[in-house]
Chain A
Amino acid sequence: KNQVEQSPQSLIILEGKNCTLQCNYTVSPFSNLRWYKQDTGRGPVSLTIMTFSENTKSNGRYTATLDADTKQSSLHITASQLSDSASYICVVSGRSRDDKIIFGKGTRLHILP
């Protein structure tokens, strides 16, 4: 069964600190992996997308990594800001005939001043 598991479920850090969110998946064959940021009360917004051949992609203070061999991805946030408080959702697309899109349940990140 294709699955996407994210950890931790929630995380609290102080403003200015770094953090790393994890995403493990079993989707196969794999097409691409996307990280979304979802602010409270709003829809998800895409941060990064990576295909099979990419292992790092940055978007400002956000850096995503991908290890297609171990089927793991991480999202690293540098010098966190209060506006980073949100849910971060990992989404994996398969390359199978029905091309399912599998969403993780997200990591809820709280940044404290």
Chain B
Amino acid sequence: DAGVIQSPRHEVTEMGQEVTLRCKPISGHDYLFWYRQTMMRGLELLIYFNNNVPIDDSGMPEDRFSAKMPNASFSTLKIQPSEPRDSAVYFCASSLKRSIDPYEQYFGPGTRLTVT
């Protein structure tokens, strides 16, 4: 398996533009997580899905952020409109079960977003 795949790896955009980040989880995994990582705040859980259904989106910073999982092999995180403070590395992770038990989360390589 190729692991969790994220695209693009790098994104530079201007303030106000729409940004869409993409994730393909590991085949067979039924949990998918979106994280944001910055130097100041570290890793933050934004939202997670179970069997394509959003379970907890309490980490989504504001209405400008939205996430979808139309099927078991694809998810998107959209920011509209983007702002400079959204600049961060966004990680997608998947697991067989939530990491509350021994099943661990497997992280993708991340998308480095820069909003100018």
Contact = CB atoms under 8 A, between A and B. Distances in A.
The answer to whether A and B assemble together is: yes
Interface of A: 31-32, 34, 41-46, 49, 89, 91, 93, 95, 98-99, 101, 103-106
B43 interface: yes
Contact of B100 (A42, A46, A95): A95
Contacts of A95: 100
Interface bin, chain B: 20 to 34
Interface of B: 4, 41-45, 56, 91, 93, 98-102, 104-105, 107-110
Given A42-B110, A43-B110, A44-B107, A101 B100 contact: yes
Given A43-B91, A89-B42, A105-B42, A99 B104 contact: no
A93 B99 contact: yes
Contact of B109 (A42, A89, A91, A93): A42
Contacts, number: 50
Given A46-B104, A98-B56, A34 B42 contact: no
Contacts of A41: 109-110
B42 A49 contact: no
17 contacts: A32-B102, A34-B99, A41-B110, A43-B4, A43-B109, A44-B91, A46-B104, A91-B99, A93-B98, A93-B99, A93-B100, A99-B98, A101-B98, A101-B99, A103-B43, A103-B45, A105-B42
Nearest to B38: A105
A104 B4 CA distance: 23
Q: DSSP majority for the B interface? A: loop
B43 A99 contact: no
Nearest to A45: B107
A63 B99 CA distance: 20
Contacts of B102: 32, 49
Contacts of B104: 34, 46, 49
Contacts of B44: 103
Given A46-B105, A95-B100, A105-B41, 12 more contacts: A31-B100, A34-B99, A43-B107, A44-B43, A49-B99, A89-B42, A93-B98, A93-B100, A99-B98, A101-B100, A103-B42, A106-B42
